[in-house]
Amino acid sequence: MTVTEQHQDHPGTGSRTSLRPEPPSRSGLRRQDAMWATVLIAPTAIGLLVFSIWPTLLTFYYSFTSWGAFGGHTWAGLENYTQLLHDSELLQSLVNTAILSLITLLSVPLGIVVAALLHRPDFRLTRFYRTVYFLPAVTLPASIALMWRLVYNGDFGPLNWTLSLVGIDGPSWLADSHTAIYALGVVSIWGSIGYNMVLFLAGMQAIPRDYYEAAELDGAGSISQFFQITVPLLTPTTFFVTVITVINALQAFDLVFLMIGKTNPALEKSQTVVYLFYEKGFVESQGGYAAAIAFVLLAVILVFTAVQFRMQRRWVHYG
């Protein structure tokens, strides 16, 4: 990702500027550029250095330390990492995070389908549908958690009440270690469809209408148009959406924190890596161990993203 674009030489500026008294010389402009660039970039650069880059390095250092309950870190070498290898809780949380991410991926095809249905010439109610599907993306996680806890409630939730009408005795979805992670997954899909839909709609706007008109002349129906034109031309967007969706899902925290909670018997089977990181770092005061967990998460994200970028050659077509 190097910066390749260079300033073009200014054609014609020589003759034009010569009409003006004392034009600034090019090297003078360069020096002026550099000075102003410093002024304009410095605040963000310093902010990122203080709050992102330096903290990352510090967390890396912390991952080799052991923390006392009242502050004070001692060097512990690879102790945290060897502990990680034998930590069944971490292994389980990695499995949970993987399951949650895989389920959340369903929001990608659903997002395409909704976007494709909305992206038709002079279709009515588009605004209404877009608003409704996007609503979860702008709703507070605490609010989302509360409403879904109502839905999932084992005793008086509408979900189990509906199931009881057809004679099914539903479990306590969020307290049952067999169902909790899937219940979270459904909420996660529900929450990401709208966001993905918006990204897909933006991608579809770049597809020329002519393609569809030509296909229609050839007698292609809307379904074959969707698979022959929309899906292939949308692969770059799909790639982007997939990567973003999975990276977000790998960092899931809010739903577990708000919907499962500390005393829930299903916690072990539904806690994610970031939830475990929060517990270790900010509740149990094991900062060093938490730092090591954070680096495991970073490794997972990097590996996943690298795999995605390698696989894109097989299925992503750039126009």
Partner 1 sequence: MADAVAATGSQKLPRWRRDLWVHVVLMLGAVLMISPFVLEVVTSVKTFAQATHTPPSLVPHPFHWGNYKDVFESLPFGRQLLNTVVMTLARTLGQVLLCSAAGFAFARLQFRGRGLLFGLFLSVLMVPSQLFLLPNYEIMQHLGLLNSISALWLPGIFSAFGTFLMRQFFLQLPRELEEAARIDGANPLQVYWWVMLPLATPALMALAILTAIWSWNDLLWPLIINTDPSKMPVSAGLAALQGGAPHQLSRPDGWLAPSQPADDRAVRDLPAPCPRGHRVHRSQGLATALTP
Please report, as residue ranges, which positions from 85 to 144 form the binding site for partner 1 (by CB under 8 A). 114, 117-118, 120, 122-125, 128-129, 132-133, 135-144
Question: Which two structure tokens, joined as six digits, stand for 251?
Answer: 């960092």
25 binds partner 1 (CB under 8 A): no
Residue 64 beta carbon to partner 1: minimum distance, rounded to whole angstroms:
13
Q: Where in 199-228 is the site for partner 1 (CB under 8 A)?
A: 213, 216-217
181 binds partner 1 (CB under 8 A): no
Q: How far is CA 214 from CA 92, 211, 225, in A?
A: 52, 5, 10
Pick the binder of partner 1 from 14, 25, 56, 168 (CB under 8 A): 56
Residue with tokens 């010439």: 121
C-beta of residue 102 within 8 angstroms of C-beta of residue 181: no
Residue 73 phi/psi, 5° resolution? Answer: -115, 140
**What is the C-alpha to C-alpha distance for residues 138 and 132, in angstroms, rounded to an integer?**
11
Considering only 98-106, 225-233, 237-245, 261-269, which stretch makes contact with partner 1 by CB under 8 A? Answer: 261-269
Pick the binder of partner 1 from 40, 78, 102, 206 (CB under 8 A): 40
Cβ neighbour number for residue 230 with a 10 Å cutoff: 20
239 binds partner 1 (CB under 8 A): no
145 binds partner 1 (CB under 8 A): yes
Q: Which is nearer to partner 1, 5 or 166 (CB)?
A: 5
15 binds partner 1 (CB under 8 A): no
Considering only 74-82, 83-91, 224-232, 275-283, which stretch makes contact with partner 1 by CB under 8 A? Answer: 275-283
Pick the binder of partner 1 from 5, 9, 169, 210 (CB under 8 A): 5
Residue 70 beta carbon to partner 1: minimum distance, rounded to whole angstroms:
7
Pick the binder of partner 1 from 14, 28, 47, 208 (CB under 8 A): 47
Residue 75 phi/psi, 5° resolution? Answer: -65, 130
What 3-state class would DSSP assign to 289?
helix
Residue 34 beta carbon to partner 1: minimum distance, rounded to whole angstroms:
4
Residue 52 beta carbon to partner 1: minimum distance, rounded to whole angstroms:
5
Pick the binder of partner 1 from 9, 15, 51, 313 (CB under 8 A): 51
**How much is the CA Rg of the chain, to the nearest whole Å?**
26
**What is the C-alpha to C-alpha distance for residues 301 and 225, in angstroms, rounded to an integer?**
35
Helices first, then strands: H and E counts in the chain: 17, 2
Beta carbons within 8 Å of 239's beta carbon, 6+ residues apart: 308, 312, 315, 316
Residues in the chain: 319
